[in-house]
Amino acid sequence: MRIFRKRIPEYLITLFAIITLNFFIPRIMPGDPFTFVSSEENSVSTVYTDEEVARLKAYYGLDKPLPEQYLNYLGNTLRGDFGYSIYFNDTVLNLVGGRIVYTLPIAISSLLLSCLLGCLIGCMSAYKRSGIFDRVSYALITIFSQIPSFLIGVFFLFFLAGKLGWFPLSGAMKAFATYESGFEKLRDILYHAFLPVLTLTLAHIGEFYLLSRNSMISVLSKDYIVTARAKGLLKKRVLYVHALKNAMLPIITRLCMSLGTIFGGAVLIENVFNYPGLGTLMRQAITYRDYTLIQGIFLFFAFTVLVMNMIADIIYGKLDPRVEL
Amino acid sequence: MKNFLLFYKSSSISGKISMLMIALVFFVAVFGTAFSRHSAFVPSDSAFVPPNTEHLLGTDDLGIDLWAQICEGAKLSLTIGIFSALLSGIAGSFIGIICGYYGGFFDKFVMRVSDILIAIPSLPLMIVMGVFFGAGIQNIIFVLAVFSWTGPARIARSKVISLKTEKHVLVAESYGAGIFYLTFRHFLPEIFPVVMVSFIRLVNRGIVSEASLSFLGLGDPTAKSWGLILNHAISFKGIYFTDFWKWWLVSPFAAITLTVLAISFIARDAEKFLDVKL
Amino acid sequence: MRNLGKKILLPILALSMLLSLSACGSKTGDTGDQESKSPVESSQANNDREEPLVITLSGGDCGYPSPYLHYSRGPGSFKMRLVFDSLLEHGEEGLIPWLAEDYNISEDGLTYTFKIREGVKWHDGEEMSPEDVLFSFEYQTANPPVGGISTALGKENNIITDMTIDGNNFIVTLSQKSAAMLNNLGSVRIIPKHIWENVENPKEFTDEVCGIGCGPYMITEYNKEQGTYKFEAFKDYWGQNQEVDVIQFVPVSDGILAFDSGEIDLTGITPDVYEKYAHSDEYKIINNPGFWGYKMGFNLEKAPALQDINVRKAIAYAINRTDLIDKVARGAAILPGEGYIPQQSVWYNKNVKAYEFDPEKAKDLLDGKTYDFKLTISSSNDEVRMAELIKLNLADVGINITVESVDSKTRDSMYKNGEYQLILNGYGGWGGDPELLLSQYAYGAIPGYSNEQINKLCDEQLLETDQAKRMKIVYELQNVIADEVPQLPLYNTTGMSVYRPAKYDGWTYMFDHHETTHPKISYLAEK
């Protein structure tokens, strides 16, 4: 706890720096939220006159000097007012909230899945080290965790969804579907989320696999276990629990830290599968230079990662750090 | 060289194959454009010619030879991977050494900055920086380095902190050795193996990040990178209904996957050989 | 402490898993559940046909269909127009009376009188009155909607001196003649006074009633995250029967796949898959008019060499635009009119000069000199492909191009600020009123370029209210533009759309727009 208390100011400084960075990042990008002269193919876009641009700038307070804008932004953020999106005509809070319900379940469930599967397969493959299962799973998992996740995503999208038609090409649920039961709805949602979750799970399974496999190997090499095993006294299940207990600390820490990276991965994966999460929204926000929305999304990402790091810190401080790694 | 032979001998089969693979990619990157009969920029045939003896991998929608583009892409990927890793590896190690040796405010400051870089998801910020700096190769290398130096820096820092209290370092210090002497005489040899492994991993990261950025359409679109060929192919309307994907989509896909896998196998063997754990 | 920690952690893990699953289930579920019953109810209410006709189209979020909430890019404004009517509507041939059942322009061209239709109902059942019309004009001039208010109505060149109501007539008085005024006045959306009267900040007025208009369709379902819309026919609509009872927009990632599986009823196709649908009675293919296009902009200030008209002409001759159409647009485009007005526009001058691909002529014009230019493009696939080909074409005649690619928004702002030498830009609206030539060519619209004759003709055509006379001026203007090449149109895209006529065969186009799913007349009985 002491270590943690010492680190609180550090976290606050980091958070402050991130908030500041968030303000300047969109503003140093070339262009502004109102200038459009081109449009997507077969589409039109409104071209504003200089007078209208000036009026819009004044409306969003973007005509004020930067320091004043910055102070306003700082004050609003601290009050919990994240502003009003320029392009999407809604509050940033609504927009981000509307997308989190898609991104978070995908991120969390793929993280937990990769953790559970990784640990299970890791233990199993260490149990008979250098056996066929061990070799195959080791090779497959290292391969999958090395291939960039968006490539795996493209692969699934193209073959499983595009060519074979087993899975939907995009979206989070069937449009205008009338569900007869909650179960059916859940099934539809899972059906749509399956490929994104699978892709992200494959991308992260390797970390947990290696952690648990190493832990299991070191447990198995202990003298008393070796003897007990030789006598056929130990059940597989007992061993698994033992090994996992040992690896608990690094696994939990890894879970917390991974949530940050998995958001980054989700940005790409959502764009591949056209999934209506924060990642697709962020890409649009950047394209349209929606200052307030960019600020809001970045802040959300950074804040989550910081909190997760903090939790990892607490766990490290609280649990005995001498646990065998 | 001797070390390299030792390393080669000690590697696993997959490691050896990987090394051959990477040697091949290098070869293709350096000499490939000289060997390929066609330009990677000028259309040389009609569009969508399937692979044949004239066009090993067929042609794309403009009729440009794909094999030539893959060679060009190899050059680009390796350049970006190696230079971004070099830049971040060298800069990171020195920053880490200074932090570890002097500690104090600079150390605190650098550690905060790296906290921030870790907290902000790198891909989104890379998108923003890509937009800001424009999409030249140097810029991509620079942006990648900005996000990757923290790894080597942290490794070097913790190594130096523990080295600093060791006897031979303390003795050298008492004879008046400055940080330059200590760095080159004592610190660098110690941290080199660790940084080396992290360097190999950073090469991979550079290649993957560039491919991801290009795939999102945010790389340098005039350079023929693998990610960009993939992007062109996948966003081609009607790709699902034609046979074009068999060569247009598969070849960049295979190129990225094989290269990245090979490098990661080498990194794994290097880890064992140099006896370091990251 | 240590054991406690371990004991707590496992259940937490399990709990968070459960939570994430249930969050997945319940929250995302809510949005789809809200009005899942409404299609059934409405179909029962609509008794004209046995089966209600539901047309599903590919969509995506483009904002709530209200004048202040739809997004400034994409088809949001057309979705909004299904709900909100205006005084005049764009028909297949030209403007047609709509909420104004008749209109009249005085001899001197300064007074416009619109006779407002009676018996028009708002979607909430209230009666629409001329009061609403006057209010709409006043309110939207004070608070410009997302689509902006036409420049002619805007403040800086406000030529409107008075707006009043006289019985059923809405009368607008001008201080000077303007040929584009009728269209501009006719396009203003009419919004209900009783809802907007007290709204001070329309941009943040997100209450559902902001989607109440008097158009043929009501918005009954909208999901921002999914990008889905459902429009249902308004029973008490004053005018023509709605042929389509329900229009749905759903997001699809591959239109052709979705069309094949029957998910959507119309999709755009490329010539690569044309064969798939061409020889079957089940399908019908229509060509969009080429009112969307790419052009190359010249900046005569940043690249003074371009001030030489021969260099501009040489570029026009050197670029193989037919090749661009074949390779980049995959054949789904036509050559542009050299006088900017596209070939399929009613204003197009057939006799305008053409620059056919002729590298030799280009070399002659350049007279052996070589030039270096920087070409700015956005990083979209088509533009990158185009730039590659243009670079090769121009290199053949001795013009070296360095391609600079930036993201689309950066390109837009570089274009606006004149920070380029050559630039590519693709956008829609080429088929609009020739008023647009003024903003494209006259009075410094092209950096460093000024031509007295073009300025004069642009002004003249805008003041000429006689259609035939105006046409003559516009023809003349196109000749001058084609001769001067102040910027170079590259091609106009003519996308193809395929649909199943057995299901619905009423697709049509507005006279000045390139998309068949956009105009409301596509969904109504009489065109």
Q: How far is A84 from chain C (nearest CA, A)?
A: 8
- For domain A100-273, the CATH superfamily is MetI-like (1.10.3720.10)
Cβ(A124)–Cβ(A211) below 8 Å: no
Contacts of A165 in chain C (CB under 8 A): 257, 261
Q: How many whole angstroms separate alpha carbon A81 and alpha carbon A61?
A: 15
pLDDT the model gives residue C453: 94
Task: Please count the CA atoms within 13 angstroms of the CA of A138 that sit on its side-chain side.
Answer: 21
pLDDT the model gives residue C375: 94
pLDDT the model gives residue A316: 67
Interface size A-B, in CB pairs within 8 Å, comes to 101
Cβ(A66)–Cβ(A73) below 8 Å: no
Q: How many whole angstroms separate alpha carbon B131 and alpha carbon B143?
A: 11
pLDDT the model gives residue C364: 94
First-to-last alpha carbon distance for chain A, in angstroms, is 22
User: Is the confidence at residue C49, as pLDDT, over 70?
Assistant: no
Q: Which helix (H) or strand (E) holds B15?
A: helix B13-35
Cβ(C49)–Cβ(C245) below 8 Å: yes
Model confidence at C153, pLDDT cuts 50, 70, 90, reads low
Token pair in block for residue A214: 């190493």
Write the CATH number of the domain with boundaries C292-493.
3.10.105.10
Closest-CA residue to A254 (of A325, A196, A195): A325
Mean pLDDT value across residues B30-53:
82
Q: How far is A132 from chain C (nearest CA, A)?
A: 31
Q: How far is A138 from chain B (nearest CA, A)?
A: 12
Question: What is the ipTM for the molecules in this complex?
Answer: 0.79
Q: Is A263 on the interface with B (CB under 8 A)?
A: yes
Other beta carbons within 10 Å of C23? 16
Nearest to A88 among C71, C156, C427 (CB): C71
Which of C323, C379, C408, C419 to substitute to test the interface with B, most B CBs within 10 Å? Answer: C379
Closest-CA residue to A206 (of A150, A133, A135, A139): A139
Domain boundaries along the sequence of chain A: 100-273
Chain B residue with minimal CA distance to C382? B232
* Structure confidence by residue, pLDDT tens digits, B121-170: 666 677 677 777 766 788 888 888 888 898 889 888 888 888 888 888 88
Token pair in block for residue A320: 């005995």
Q: How far is B14 from chain C (nearest CA, A)?
A: 37
Instruction: Scan for tokens 């009517």, then name that residue.
Output: C85
Mean pLDDT value across residues B50-55:
86
Contacts of B125 in chain A (CB under 8 A): 25, 298
* Structure confidence by residue, pLDDT tens digits, C345-401: 989 999 999 999 999 999 999 998 999 999 999 888 889 889 989 999 999 999 999
- Residue limits of CATH 3.40.190.10 in chain C: 11-250+497-523
Question: Of B31-35, C339-343, C475-479, where does mean pLDDT reach its minimum?
Answer: B31-35
- Contact check, Cβ <8 Å, C251/A55: no
Instruction: Tell me the torsion sign for CA atoms A208, A214, A220, A223.
Output: negative
Mean pLDDT value across residues B205-210:
87
Three-class SS state of A121: helix
pLDDT the model gives residue C2: 41
Chain A residue with minimal CA distance to C65? A89
pLDDT the model gives residue C34: 37
Question: C11-250+497-523 has which fold?
Answer: D-Maltodextrin-Binding Protein; domain 2 (3.40.190)
pLDDT top residue among A50 and C125: C125
Question: Of A125-129, C342-346, C513-517, where does mean pLDDT reach its minimum?
Answer: A125-129
pLDDT the model gives residue C526: 65
pLDDT the model gives residue B124: 65
Other beta carbons within 10 Å of C49? 10
Residues in contact with A70: Cβ distance below 8 Å, sequence separation at least 6, in sequence order: A20, A23
- Contact check, Cβ <8 Å, B120/A305: yes
Cβ(A145)–Cβ(A206) below 8 Å: yes
Nearest to A154 among B121, B204, B234 (CB): B234
Residues in contact with C175: Cβ distance below 8 Å, sequence separation at least 6, in sequence order: C110, C159, C160, C161
Cβ(C363)–Cβ(C317) below 8 Å: no
Residues in contact with C163: Cβ distance below 8 Å, sequence separation at least 6, in sequence order: C134, C137, C138, C170, C171, C172, C173
- Contact check, Cβ <8 Å, B242/C272: yes
- Contact check, Cβ <8 Å, C248/A176: yes
Model confidence at C50, pLDDT cuts 50, 70, 90, reads low
Q: How far is A265 from chain C (nearest CA, A)?
A: 18
Nearest to A46 among C17, C147, C253 (CB): C147
Q: How far is B114 from chain A (nearest CA, A)?
A: 10
- Contact check, Cβ <8 Å, C144/A52: yes
Chain B interface, Cβ < 8 Å to A: 14, 112, 115-116, 118-125, 127-128, 131-132, 204, 208, 211-212, 215-216, 230, 234, 240, 245, 249, 253, 256-257, 260-261, 264-265, 268
Nearest to C327 among B61, B217, B242 (CB): B61
Enumerate the β-bridge partners of residue B67.
none
When the pLDDT of each residue in chain A is averaged and rounded to a whole number, the result is: 82
Q: Which helix (H) or strand (E) holds A307?
A: helix A291-318
Model confidence at C336, pLDDT cuts 50, 70, 90, reads very high
Mean pLDDT value across residues C333-355:
93
Model confidence at C523, pLDDT cuts 50, 70, 90, reads very high
* Structure confidence by residue, pLDDT tens digits, C403-437: 888 888 888 889 988 999 999 999 988 988 888 89
Where chain A has pLDDT below 50, the residues are: 320-325
Contacts of B240 in chain C (CB under 8 A): 254, 256-257
pLDDT the model gives residue C470: 92
Token pair in block for residue C271: 């010539």
- Contact check, Cβ <8 Å, C32/A185: yes
Question: B10-38+55-273 has which fold?
Answer: MetI-like fold (1.10.3720)
Model confidence at C13, pLDDT cuts 50, 70, 90, reads very low
* Structure confidence by residue, pLDDT tens digits, A187-228: 888 888 899 999 999 988 988 888 888 888 877 777 777 777
Which of A24, A151, A271, A283 to substitute to test the interface with B, most B CBs within 10 Å? Answer: A151
pLDDT top residue among C103 and B272: C103
* Structure confidence by residue, pLDDT tens digits, C103-118: 999 988 889 999 999 9
Instruction: Tell me the torsion sign for CA atoms A220, A225, A226, A230.
Output: negative
Other beta carbons within 10 Å of A59? 14
Q: How far is A229 from chain B (nearest CA, A)?
A: 29
The model carries a pTM of 0.82
pLDDT the model gives residue C361: 95
pLDDT the model gives residue B164: 82
Nearest to C427 among A39, A104, A289 (CB): A39
Model confidence at C11, pLDDT cuts 50, 70, 90, reads very low
- Residue limits of CATH 3.10.105.10 in chain C: 292-493
Contacts of C407 in chain B (CB under 8 A): 130-131, 218
pLDDT the model gives residue A317: 63
pLDDT the model gives residue B123: 66
pLDDT the model gives residue B113: 86
- Contact check, Cβ <8 Å, B238/C270: yes
Interface size A-C, in CB pairs within 8 Å, comes to 216
- Contact check, Cβ <8 Å, A18/B249: no
When the pLDDT of each residue in chain C is averaged and rounded to a whole number, the result is: 85
Nearest to A162 among B116, B240, B253 (CB): B240
User: Is the confidence at residue C483, as pLDDT, over 90?
Assistant: yes
User: Is the confidence at residue C175, as pLDDT, over 70?
Assistant: yes
- Contact check, Cβ <8 Å, C427/A182: no
Nearest to A29 among B128, B204, B256 (CB): B128
What DSSP string describes A44-112?
A: -BPPPPHHHHHHHHHHTTTTS-HHHHHHHHHHHHHTT---B-SSS-SBHHHHHHHHHHHHHHHHHHHHH
pLDDT the model gives residue B5: 80
Cβ(C295)–Cβ(C488) below 8 Å: yes
Q: How many whole angstroms separate alpha carbon C46 and alpha carbon C50?
A: 9
Enumerate the β-bridge partners of residue C169.
C115, C166
pLDDT the model gives residue A234: 66
pLDDT the model gives residue C435: 85
Cβ(C487)–Cβ(C474) below 8 Å: no
Mean pLDDT value across residues B246-274:
87
* Structure confidence by residue, pLDDT tens digits, A27-70: 888 888 888 888 877 777 778 877 788 888 888 888 899 999 99
